[in-house]
Every structure is written in structure tokens, then in C-alpha cells.
Structure 1
Amino acid sequence: MELSTLKNNFYNLYRAELMESKKQVAVKTYFSPGRVNLIGEHIDYSGGMVLPCAINLGTYAVVSRRTDQTVKIMSLNFEEMGILSFELDQIENKPEMDWANYPMGVFNEFIKRGHVIDQGFNILFYGDLPNGAGLSSSASIEVLTATIINDYLSFGFTKTELALLCQKSENEFNGMNCGIMDQFSVAHGVKDHAIFLNCDTLEYELIPAALKDYRLMIINTNKKRGLVDSEYNMRRRECEVALEIIQKGFDQRTIQYLCDLTPVEFLDVAPLLNEDTVYKRAYHSVVENFRVHESKKALSNGNLIAFGEWMYSSHESLKNYFQVSCKELDIIVDLSRNMRGVLGARMTGAGFGGCAIALVEKDKCDYYMEKVGRSYNVKTGLKATFYIAEIADGAGVVHESF
């Protein structure tokens, strides 16, 4: 959607409120990206590194202040719900507020911390991220809301502080036990750079990720993700069991996380893991962390061929060792592997559906979408949705007028 169209919608929706103001009202437009994790899946809770990036698909907002204590919000993605509103001194999670509980939770978190928000807002949201596909639409709208509040009220929060605030909001106000990677990536994104991030310490490094003659293709399988929460908890527990066993039998040094081990060290302790499932979870964790470090080197050196091979290797591990893939994701990756002009592909996100990513030669993108889309439909009966994404900057103001 063009920004001019979005702004026209805003003025039409909030015309009465704007005309009531006795002075000229400042109207700002903001953008907050989604994110994909290029590599490093299901290892953040095992002390591993991740390599996400912000993308140019995300959430827009047109904003003005009000003179009362009311916040009026609407999303063009949920037009049937109309304008929703809440009072700044009466914030609580309500099922009927649906998607609006995410921005409302961010307002609540600022207020809980003692920051005075003395006037309300009119906000119109619009997003071009597919919901529920694992591209962090919730983190996008949370960081967007936090950026709006921080900017208008000059609270001076850093990007990391905003990310942590949004994570806490999602954990406590919305009851979603997410990690920090999504909010951190959305806040800290830098164009043409990936983020080499330790989710435990929040130490990070920006890694050049110029894709040259290739494009980052996002493929939504449109397979509804199932079992994510229960299987996530099970995988996490299996990793904990593996770590407990290894800690008792590894005497070279103290091991706090599975990913503290190198692949060579893992070979030494592998015989301790008698149960096949626990062995597989630990193997994936250790080797995936190694893949992230090698991928960092490959991207830094502009070696996209090597990076693509690590992508394929990551997917095979997620499929066979961590067992969080599904038939639909595997088909996308297999089809990609057999096409010229594709350097690598893998599932991204929690798994069991959602999205895959592929590194596709720029001139072959149209052919890729047509060929893979047709074959995928024949094999699954589903229609995949394709997005050509760019690695983008994090949340911020994109336009301002008076």
C-alpha cells in the first residue's frame, strides 16, 4: 500500500478528532519490519548464536496525539473490527480486543514502569506480513508501538531497552513465552546486515550480508502451524535432559549450555547419551551453533555459495535430528535444491508449517516462483505464497508532515 493511501485512510477515519483540535496536529508515519532468522534455529535456549535480519515487509502506522486519555486504534488488516479504543488508566487484556492486545500491552508496560503518558493517540496500522507464518508480526507491531511512544514522548529508551520492554509485554500481558530474538531483530535491524546475536547476553555484532545478484525469497507454505507450543516445550526439555547428562560426564571444563560444546567435544560425550531422541536434540544444537559461526564467516567474506550449503545442512538437521519440519517445508526445500539459480534453502521459525527461505538468483526469481509454486501445489494441494524480501533497517519514523 502506498503511504499516501495509508495517510488518506487515516485522515478519513480520524477526521472528527483532528478537526476538534484547536491547533495544527502533527501526523507521523512509522515503519517496523518483520524478521527472518537466516540460520540458527531452536538453539537460542541452548546458549547458541542466531543470525536473524530485519526485512522490508512489516507494519506501518500513521499517528497523531489526542487531547484526552483515549487511545483509538485500527488496523486495515482487520477492517471488520473497526476502530478499537481504550483508556490509558484502564488497560487490561480483553479477548474482544484481539490483535489490539499487542499494542495495548506495550502502553501498559510503559505505564507500569512509571512513565507518564498524559495524552492519548490516534493510530492507524497496516501490515504486509502474513499473520501466523513465523515472520514475527506480533514483535513488529509491539516494537512499532514502543517506537511511537518513545519518539513522541522523548523517553530516551535505547533500541535494546525497547526490545526488552516489548518482550516483557508479550510474556506477561499477552501470556506468550517468547524469547528476545524477534523484538531485538526488529529494533536493531540494519539494511544489508544480519545480526549475530547471543540471546542470553544480548551481545551482538552486525554482519555484512550483501546478497549481490541474489534475493532472499520467503515462501509461505500456507500450512497452518500445529503442535508448536507442545512440541517446543518437549524439545526444550529434551535439550535440558541432554545437558544434565553431559554435565555429569564431561570433565574437561564447566558446561553451562549445550552450545558451549564444539562438535569435536560432542563426539567425546555422545556415548553418554543412550537415548536416541536426546542424542538427536543435542547433536542438532551443537552442530547448528557451529553452522551459525561458519555462516557468519561466509557472509562476511561474501561467500554466498558456502552460506547456501549451510542453509541446506541446517534444514536437514531440523528435519532429521530436531524433527520440527513437516512435509510441506521439506517439499519446498527439495524443490529448491533441484533448481538452477538457487544457492540454499531451509525452514525458518518454529517449524511444523509456516515459512521457508531460499537464496535465489535475481533473474530467476519469477521462474522460481512459477515452477516451485506449481510443483508444490501438485504435491500438497496447497498454494504457496512468495515474497521477495530485502534486508532492511529496524523500526523508526519514515515520514513526517504538519
Structure 2
Amino acid sequence: MKSTLVQQKFNTLFNEEATTIVRSPGRINLIGEHIDYNDGFVLPASIDKEIVLAIAPNTIDGICTLYAADFNDTFTFSLSNLEPTSKGWPNYVLGVIVELNKAGYQIKPFNCVFGGNIPTGAGLSSSAAVECGIAFALNEIFGLGLTKLQIVQFSKQAENNFVGVNCGIMDQFASTFGKAHHVIKLDCKSLDYEYFPFQMAGYDIVLCDTGVKHSLGDSEYNTRRQECDSAIAVLKEKYPSITSFRDVTLSQIQSITDLLPTKTIDRATYVVQEIKRVSDASILLNKNDLEGFGQLMYQCHEGLSKLYEVSCIELDFLKNLAFESGQVTGSRMMGGGFGGCTINLVKKENTATFIDAAIIAYQEKFKKALKTYIVAITDGTSMVG
């Protein structure tokens, strides 16, 4: 949704102009899936699919009103009664306010309209975009003095503590710290980060949306985290020098196979392999070796599907289609899993052919339309205008 449309809706609803307009992007993750909460490295980027928020203090009646343009839905609440709502979508805003309140920041009544073009349920982190966008906007209109890192941390805490999804920090970090034409190598243990130029000349990033909607709160996401926590606890007990999965070798995992269920061993194996893949991928990016990078994407998907078991038949089908076409440099499922998108690295001369073939094949296989998006890497959450 264009920022002008959000502003116009704000004017119509509240009979005044918004004082602040913010854009907050969704994100892709090139490689490093499900390891942000396991102290690994990830390679995300913010993209040109975003949420736009129009916001202003409400000095009239002392209440807060939210309007979600994508749902054509309004939610009104008092700052003295911040409880989760069954509507779902307001919780991403309420949670941020709760976390800010805990930290001693004073939030006053406000009105906000938001909407965007991030496909929901596609694994592009629309929830993180809303969280970071509202934190950024409240910081602006109330002069809270938050740093970008604090915006990220409060947004993550909102999702963990209020929404109830035990996610890592990658989504919020990528949405806030994104830089055009770069990926972020984020150390999820220390939160150190560096930018790597992503030389896209001659390539497109194509997302294929399965149309299978997932809800991370209701999925196996939290279960996977618990399984990883169980594995690292046993490893630390046997090998006291281990502080996180970053220190773990595959041989050490093999040494505890009699102490944990097979599936838990599989989860830990994937995590250690994926941490190494991200390290290898960084080296390849420095060499501008996107062909080698693409092969690591394929390997990542196999691990997510077979060892971590967060894929689904639709995602596997699209990855296999990409590989067998010979036209796609790299492909894998992206995001929490159980639906959402595959991310595909495609040479520009192959993009149209690949998309057309994928749409036809997906319709024939699943009797369902396949949505595709070509995305560009953009800057992170920022003011509009």
C-alpha cells in the first residue's frame, strides 16, 4: 500500500493529518534458517515489501485507535488495559507498548493507520515489520530516545512475551538494520553485524508463495526451539567447554545419540551444519560466487526438510522444480516453515521462463494458483518523506 493511501485513510478516519509516516520492510533470509535462536549466524536483508504506518498523538479522548487497512478492521484500546485480543493483529502493537512500559517509557494515547504489501503467511515477517514500525513511530512522536538496537529488542520481546512466539532476533534486526543492495551477516549470539554487498547484477530474487498459510504460534516452531534447548543442555553437560551450538562438532552430536530421541539429534545436526553453511556462504559472497552460494541454498533446504522437518509438500515441490529446471541457481524454503515461500536465486534471462513454468506446474499439481514476487533489497525501517 502506498504511503499516500495510508495518509489519506488516516485523514478520513481522524479528521486530521498524521504527524509521522513510517515505512517498515519485510525481510528475506538468504541462508541461515532456524539458527538465530541457536546463537548462529544469519544472512538476511530488508526488501521492497513493506508496512506503512501513519501515526499521531491523540489529545482528544485519551484512547488509542488502530486501523489495519489490509483487514479493514479497527481496534480501540486504553493504555491502562493492555490485554491480548482474539483479533490477533493488534497484539503486535500492544506487545510493543507493554515492553516499552516495562522499561519505563511513557506512551501516551495515539491513533495509527497501517497497511502494506507484505503477503501475510508467506514467511516475509510482516509481524516483525509491524512491531519495528510501531516502535520506530512511537519513538518519533513521543521522543523516547530509543536506539535502533533497542527498537529491535523491544519488538522481539513483544513477539516472545505478548504474542507468544519464541522467535529469535533475526526478523526484527533485518527489518530495522537493512541496507539497500546489502545482506547483513548477523551474529545472533553477540549481535555484532557486518554488511556484505550482494551483487545482483544479472540475477533476480524470486519468491514463490505456496499459498499455504502458517501461524508460528500454533505451529511446531516453539517445539523446535525446545528440542534444540534439550540437545545443547546435554552437550554442555558432556562437554563443559561448549557455550552454544557454535562450539559443537558433528562428532560430538554423534556421541550423545543414546541420550536423546533421534529427532532431537536430527535437529542439532541440522543446526551445526547450517552454522557452517552460513560461514561458507559469507566467503562465497566475498568472491561474488553466486553459483556456489546457490548450491548452499539447495543444501539448506534439504536439511530443513529432512532433519529439521519444517517443510511441507508444496515447498519441497517448488524446490525440486527449481533444481530440476536447471534454470535456478539456488532455491530453498524460507521462514518458519510449514508453508510460506521458497526463495530462488535466478539469472535474469531465466526469470520469466522459470516463473511461467512454476505457475503452470503448481496449478497442475495442487489445483492452486501460485503467486510469485520479484523483490529488491532496500533500506530498513525509516521515515517517509
Shared fold by TM > 0.5? yes
Equivalent-residue separation in structure 1 for 2:138 and 2:369 (angstroms): 39
| 1:126-141 equivalent positions in 2, closer than 5 A | 126-141=115-130
- Aligned pairs for 1:108-123 (under 5 A) are 108-118=98-108, 120-123=109-112
Aligned with 2:139 (options 125, 128, 150): 150
Distance between the aligned counterparts of 1:148 and 1:305, measured in 2? 40
1:22 aligned partner: none
Q: CA RMSD in A?
A: 2.3
Q: What is aligned with 2:166?
A: 177
Deviation at 1:26, TM superposition (A): 5.8
Per-residue deviation, 1:276: 4.1
Say whether residues 1:196 and 2:180 are aligned partners: no
Inter-CA distance 167–244: structure 2 relative to 1 (3 Å threshold): closer
2:276 matches 1:290: yes
Question: Unaligned regions of 5+ residues in structure 2, if any?
Answer: none
Q: Which residue of 1 aligns with 2:9?
A: 9
- Residue 258 of structure 1 aligns to which amino acid in structure 2? F
Q: Give SS of 2:90's match.
A: helix
SS of alignment partner, residue 104 of structure 1:
helix
**Residue deviations 1:228-277, cap 9 Å, x none?**
75633443344344434544555xx711223313xxx4236525424643
Aligned to 1:73: 66
Q: Is the 8 A contact 1:54 1:394 kept in 2?
A: yes
Match of 2:81? 90
Q: Aligned match of 1:107 in 89, 97, 103?
A: 97
Structure 2 counterpart of 1:305, one-letter code: E
Distance in 1 separating the partners of 2:66 and 2:98: 15
CA, structure 1 residues 372+26, in 2 after alignment: closer, same or farther (shift >3 Å)?
Answer: closer
Residues 7 and 18, structure 2, Cα contact 8 Å, conserved in 1: no
Whole-Å separation in 2 of the counterparts to 1:326 and 1:226: 14
1:375 paired with 2:364, answer: no
* CA displacement 1:333-369 (0-9 Å, x = unmatched): 1111123442100011121222110011224323222
- Cα gap change, 1:155 to 1:269, in 2 (>3 Å): closer
Partners in 2 of 1:62 and 1:227 — Cα distance?
27
**Deviation of the 1:311 alpha carbon:** 0.3
Q: Give the Å deviation of 1:89.
A: 3.3
Q: Is the 8 A contact 1:245 1:273 kept in 2?
A: no
Aligned pair 1:303/2:289, yes or no? yes
How far did residue 77 of structure 1 move? 0.6
Matched, 1:338 2:324: yes
Are 1:56 and 2:11 an aligned pair?
no
Amino-acid identity (%): 36
Distance change (3 Å), C-alpha of 1:200 and 1:107:
same
**Contact map agreement 1:209 1:300 (CA 8 A) in 2:** no
Residue 150 of structure 1 and its aligned partner are, at CA, apart by 0.7
Q: 1:165 matched to which residue of 2?
A: 154
Within 2, Cα distance between the matches of 1:10 and 1:249?
58
The 5 A counterparts of 1:318-329 are: 318-329=304-315
Q: What whole-Å deviation, never above 9, does each CA across 1:266-302 have from its counterpart, x for those lacking one? A: 2365254246434422321111111001111112322
Q: Which amino acid aligns with 2:51?
A: T
Which of the pair has more CA radius of gyration? 1
1:254 aligns to what? 241
Structure 1 unaligned segments of length 5 or more: list them.
19-24
SS of 2:55's partner is strand
SS in 1 for 2:220: helix
Aligned length: 382
Residue equivalent to 1:267:
251
* Structure-2-length-normalised TM-score: 0.91
Q: Which amino acid aligns with 1:259?
A: R
Q: Is the 2:206–2:374 contact (alpha carbons within 8 Å) kept by the matching residues of 1?
A: yes
User: In structure 1, how many angstroms separate the alpha carbons of the residues matched to 2:375 and 2:280?
Assistant: 23
For residues 39 and 293 of structure 1, the distance between their equivalents in structure 2, rounded to whole angstroms, comes to 10
Q: Distance in 2 between matches of 1:206 and 1:360?
A: 22
Deviation at 1:114, TM superposition (A): 2.3
The 1:227/1:88 distance shift into structure 2, 3 A limit, reads closer
For normalisation by structure 1, the TM-score amounts to 0.87
**Contact kept? 2:164, 2:217, Cα under 8 Å:** no
The structural deviation recorded for 1:304 is 0.8
